[in-house]
Amino acid sequence: MTVTKMRSSHIGVRPMITRSETYVLSEPHGRDVVEQLALERLLPVSEIVKTVRYFDTFDWRLYQKGLALIQAGNAVYLQRISDGEYPLQDQIEMKQHIEGRFWWMFPEGELRDTLRSALSVRALLLRAQVRQKVCGFGVLNADEKTVVRLFLTHTSAENRHVATLALRSVRGYERDFENLRRRFRKLDVAHVAEDVFERVMNLAGCVPGDYSSKLNLNLNHEASGREATCEILKCLHDVMRQNETGIRADWDTEFLHDFRVAIRRTRSALTQIKGVLSEDAVAHFKDAFRQLGRSTNRLRDLDVYLLEEEAYRAMLPQSLQPGLDAVFSRLKSERRRALSDMVQVLDKPEYLNLMDSWATFLRGEQSRGGKDSAVPAIALAQKFIFKRFKQILKKGQAIGDHTPDEALHDLRIDCKKLRYLLEFFASLFPKDKMGKLIGYMKKLQDNLGDFNDLSVQQQELMAYLNEVLPRSRRADRLLCAAAIGGLIARLHDRQQAVRREFASAFATFSGKKNVRLYRDLFR
Amino acid sequence: MSIFALYSMKGGVGKTAAAVNLAYEAVRSGATALLCDLDPQGAAAFYFRIRAKKKFGRKRFLKGGKHLENNIRGTDFEGLDLLPSAMSFRNLDLGLDDRTKNKSYLKRLLTPMRKEYDYIFLDCPPNLTLLAEHVFRAADYVIVPCIPTTLSMLTHQKLMDFFKKNGLKRKKLVSFFSMVEQRKTMHREMIAQVGERKGKFLSAQIPYTTDVERMGWARQPVACFKPRSKGTLAYRELWTELQMLG
């Protein structure tokens, strides 16, 4: 049974304690169940037939938060999955299909605010579509007053059906609800179900949570280095393939991002986990993935600039802002070209061959491998992680206020490598400690990441100033130059500030607590 | 969030019928509402087939908080809840007298409910006692049904004077014509003179119809058993006007 503080679909907020319980019926004729209970005082109240569409991002961001976005007819609303049929907040009217929308394409209000924090830059995709017939009944007492509400729902998709029955209490009549609940629990044909949402999604051939950009591995503690490495790489291979469609369709920028991260992780694994796979093959695939990675760079850079458009504009006074119009319209048209280049890469036989041969290699590699392939994965992980950690400590301590920027860039790459190693082998070590490690690391990585992003952005703008503008015949090219100049100055300021924070970020990382954790776990 | 009190010094002018039907209309239009029955007759609860819990009475009501909230009961209509009255409510005045000097105790009792509901309707007993003064302070609008007769208009004038004398905002007072019989000359004349009178009168009128009377037999808001009747449409129109107020 769930007791939920619910909010109404109406004006304002209506917190109200309502109890509910949902059953899955084992036979298709739910009405029989109702009759079996011999509820003589049962009043049919409503009957609604509707097509229900469920939306979520590719990586199930709403589902991960326990939410579902639903469009039924013209009504669009969010639902807390554990609550059954109650909208989380005010529903909104939207005639248009919401597939492909981002949070900012919704009218202002609570729904949009929730979507904003949940979706971030990801687009909504249609995940499932079902037909639903909902019959509402009131269970009456001797005064013919409704004391419990009962909903019989038939959901169907692609010739599959599921029948569910939900009981909901009426305020002030909780005892009647409890009595009815007890009777239902004794029935053979009805079973309490907590996973109604998942069942409904499965009907439509969809498995909620089936994709995540995170590496959700569960490595065997006895696994050999070779087995573990192959499993990690196979997982990354799957992530690449899963994102191809989204890149082609250009639903949002994160398909390419996840695709790139998977490539980077693959390359990192090939470089860092030494002596496990056969050396010739490693050299070949490392090179192939480096080239593939390189072909994604330009599109990603452009995506990042365009995502930052609002932030860039906000950095400038109103008078200079129009100067950026030219920059962004150029970036947009360049992005169109970069996208079609990217799609071409995916369509080329080279790419398909690479993926096929890679998958075949990983399958076959189980039985071959390098000199350390039989060493337990856990021992290898400890060796590689601790070595990298020591290296970062040494490099980081050498950085002072006057160290050249290159040293920071270098350190960033090393941190990333360490982070990847930790993620690859996380399931072999205690979860809580790994969580702490990642936490200590995050502050440092964020600092180094920001530093790098800010310097790349300045370079890009400088290039525009040096190469594009002098050849431009735009009437507003002076304004343009001023805007870019202003932006570079702001970015430079921020970069300096980030650099000043480096010492404190590194102090957390190199602190006693963290060092002790690494020693305990990896030495 | 607004609190509407259905009030009249006279009995039998259609207060409870208005309270029940207006609360129903509010919920029908998508809001949530609580109907508080302050009249010991308990007619509002009767219309919704609700019986108060046995132990509920004046004392628990006046204690407020959980003691009050636990006695709210859902009606057959989702979003519409009711706080039933009890016979002991006939002595509500006594309890109120002990509690506060500034006559705002009822307002304080209702405060937690303001968050929970979009509208609260108070169905008041027909007299001008201490309870009525608490009601006037708690309500955002005091809605007065008036039968268009000379006597009714006289009581209406008295109520306005009372408001003035006791430093209550006369803007809160909103009236409408109830139990209107167009075939009666007096009714027509009284309504025609409305422009010359002080005080706000809504333009919607509730006609005298048997449908409204039959609520006692159907034990439902009139819209549920006579969805297209004159009574239903009149209450709907009245609700539209009230909604504009707040």
| pLDDT tens string B130-149 | 999 999 999 999 999 999 99
Contact A10 B118 (CB under 8 A): yes
Whether residue A31 is predicted with pLDDT greater than 70 in this model: the reply is no
Distance from C-alpha of A191 to C-alpha of A373, rounded to nearest angstrom:
49
Evaluate whether A213-375 and A376-523 have a shared fold: yes
Inter-chain CB proximity A14 and B30 less than 8 Å: no
- Residue B127: domain span: 2-245
Contact flag B74-A138 (C-beta cutoff 8 Å): no
Q: Is 50 exceeded by the pLDDT of residue A12?
A: no
Smallest CA–CA distance from A137 into chain B, residue: B76
Give A18→chain B minimum CA distance, Å: 11
> What integer pLDDT is reported at residue A28 of this predicted model?
58
CB contacts, 8 Å: B78 with chain A: 149
Q: With contacts defined as CB-CB under 8 Å, which chain B residues touch A171? A: 72-74, 81
The fold of A2-203 is Hypothetical Protein Pfu-838710-001 (2.40.320)
Instruction: Judge whether residue A323 has pLDDT over 80.
Output: yes
CB of A156 within 8 Å of a chain B CB? The answer is no
Q: Is the pLDDT of residue A5 over 70?
A: no
**The predicted structure's pLDDT at residue A14:** 39
Among the listed ranges A8-12, A36-40, A138-142, B43-47, which one has the minimum average pLDDT value? A8-12
Minimum mean pLDDT among A28-42, A105-119, A147-161, A242-256: which range? A28-42
For residue A43, give the H/E element and its range: strand A42-56
The per-residue pLDDT for B83 is 95
CA distance B210 to chain A (A): 23
Mean pLDDT of chain A: 88
pLDDT reported for residue B153: 87
Question: Hey, what amino acid is at A388?
Answer: R
Q: What's the mean pLDDT in A273-288?
A: 91
Minimum mean pLDDT range among A219-223, A267-271, A331-335, A381-385: A219-223
Q: Does A10 touch chain B (CB under 8 A)?
A: yes
Q: How many contacts, defined by CB atoms under 8 Å, are there between A and B?
A: 54
Looking at the DSSP bridge assignments, the partners of residue A2 are A20
Q: Is 80 exceeded by the pLDDT of residue A187? A: no
Contact flag A12-B51 (C-beta cutoff 8 Å): no
A149 touches chain B (CB under 8 A): yes
Confidence category of residue A30, pLDDT binned at 50, 70, 90: low
Answer yes or no: are the C-beta atoms of A55 and A71 closer than 8 Å.
yes
The pLDDT assigned to A423 comes to: 93
- Reading the block at residue B117, the tokens are 């509901």
Q: What is the pTM of this model?
A: 0.80
pLDDT at A17: 64
Neighbours of A400 (CB within 10 A): 9
pLDDT at residue A143 greater than cutoff 80: yes
Tell me the fold of A213-375. CHAD domain (1.40.20)
Range from A459-473, B24-38, B86-100, B165-179 carrying the lowest mean pLDDT = B86-100
The CA distance from A346 to A255, in Å, is: 13
Is a pLDDT exceeding 90 seen at residue A185?
Answer: no
pLDDT for position B91: 85
Q: Among all residues of chain A, which has the CA nearest to that of B27?
A: A10
Partner-chain contact A8 B74, CB within 8 Å? no
Residue matched to tokens 């270098």: A410
Cα A229 from Cα A500, distance rounded (Å): 39
Beta carbons of A145 and B76 less than 8 Å apart: yes
Residue showing tokens 């390419």: A256
Q: Across the interface, do A10 and B32 touch by the CB < 8 Å criterion?
A: yes
Q: CATH no. for residue B240? A: 3.40.50.300
Mean pLDDT, rounded, for A364-382: 80
**A463 contacts: CB under 8 Å, gap ≥ 6:** none
> Does residue A7 have a pLDDT over 60?
no
Report whether pLDDT(A36) > 60: yes
Residue A307 confidence (pLDDT): 92
Calpha distance B119→B123 (Å, rounded) = 13
- Nearest by CB to residue B76, choosing from A15, A16, A146, is A146
Check A143 against B51: CB less than 8 A apart. yes
What is the domain partition of chain A in residue ranges? 2-203, 213-375, 376-523
Burial readout B226-240 (b: 16 or more C-beta within 10 A, e: otherwise): beebebbbbbbbbbe
Residue A11 has pLDDT above 50, yes or no: no
Give the pLDDT mean for A343-369. 87
Model confidence band, residue A8 (pLDDT cutoffs 50, 70, 90): very low
Interface test with B, best of A10, A143, A168 (most B CBs within 10 A): A10
Partner-chain contact A9 B30, CB within 8 Å: yes
Interchain contact, B118 vs A12, CB within 8 Å: yes
Domain count for chain B: 1
Taking the domain A376-523, which CATH number applies?
1.40.20.10
Query: How far is residue A116's CA from residue A395's CA, in Å, rounded to a whole number?
Result: 39
Between A38-52, A487-501, B144-158, B176-190, the lowest mean confidence (pLDDT) is in A38-52
pLDDT score of A37: 64
What's the whole-number mean pLDDT along residues A209-215?
A: 88
pLDDT for B27 beyond 50: yes
pLDDT, position A2 = 47
Determine the residue type at A1. Answer: M
- In the predicted model, is pLDDT for residue B30 greater than 90? no
Tell me the chain B residues in contact with residue A145 when contact means C-beta distances shorter than 8 Å.
48-50, 76
Nearest CA in chain B to A9: B30
Whether the CB of A93 is below 8 Å from some CB of chain B: the reply is no
Contact B118 A138 (CB under 8 A): no
Higher per-residue confidence, A173 vs A10 = A173
Query: B76–A138: do the CB atoms touch at under 8 Å?
Result: yes
Nearest to A14 among B53, B73, B116 (CB): B116
